Amino acid sequence: MILTAVICIVLGIGLILLCIFLPTENNEPNEPQSKDANVGDVIPDEPPSEPQIPVESGNTQNPEQGETPVTEEPEQPSVPVDPEPVEPEIPEVPETSSEPETPEVPETPSEPETPYVSSKNDPLLILANVGNPLPEDFEVGELETVQGNYKLDARAASYAREMISDAKSEGITLQLCSSYRAISLQKTLFENKYNYYISNGWSAEDAYAKTATIIAIPGTSEHQTGLCMDVVTPSYQVLDAGYAETDAAKWLAENAYKYGFILRYPKDKQDITKIIFEPWHYRFVGIENAKLIKDSGLCLEEYLETLE
């Protein structure tokens, strides 16, 4: 009996405890269920937000979301691609090809045709020699100083000064020893040379003929025109054939035509000019005529015969 009573007491206590603990167990699971439910709600929300960030870096955890932005982003660079090809079309607009047409305009080849005024009436081609004396009423044009007291016709003076300056820049010193001469001075020079030969036993006829090959007969001298000059150099001031071997004479023979001057009495033309070889005597005929005479190898007398 006693054992039976004890068992009943224990069972009763157990039932009481069971009743006490049953409600708390029902409440406690509610809380974890709500936590579990929250966790469950958050879990599906978080994954989409996380893969959205790495989608640009090619995260493959969520390929479906990665494909959408990948296809949308390449469409953006396609926008600037269109304007870029349009811009290169702009350089096609500067059709400045018309500009090179302007240099074609100065068709200066027509200028060489100005050998041109190369007529016998060209005042720069006036001929003065034994067979062509200057008119008695001839008057020289306006004179300008070239060097020291030496003067030339204004049409030739500036070119002479430029030639002397350019030669100097190349280490060549050109020194004038004669230029324009009045007919009175020409007479004095001729007489002096003539008397020199007479004093040395020459006949009057021979003295005159010899003098005429060296000093132009008054009225036939180019010096009277103001268009010629005698040029030497400080290291060689003798008027003889030896001067042709100096650097100054060689420079003149090569460059004088560029300034409108020609070697008036060449060595191989004495039978035509009737004057001895004078490597120091240069005559201004203008740049165009000088070039033509230089290229042709003609002397002034021959050149004039080719003109109308």
Q: Which residues of 266-301 are buried (b: 16+ CB within 10 A; e: fewer)?
A: beebeeebbbebbbbbbbbbbbbbbbbbbeeebbbe
The answer to whether 280 and 249 have CB atoms below 8 angstroms apart is yes
Q: Sign (positive/negative) of CA torsion 129, 133, 135, 137?
A: positive
The answer to whether 179 and 223 have CB atoms below 8 angstroms apart is yes
Indicate if 92 belongs to the active site: no
The angle at the Cα of 199, spanning 194 to 205, to the nearest 5 degrees, equals 50
- Given 25, 278, 301, 305, which residue is catalytic? 278
Residue 236 sits at φ, ψ, to 5 deg, of -150, 100
Rounded to whole angstroms, the Cα distance separating 261 from 196 reads 32
Identify which of 294, 276, 306, 283 has the alpha carbon closest to the alpha carbon of residue 128.
283
Residue 228's DSSP bridge partners are 283
**Which residues are the active-site residues?**
278
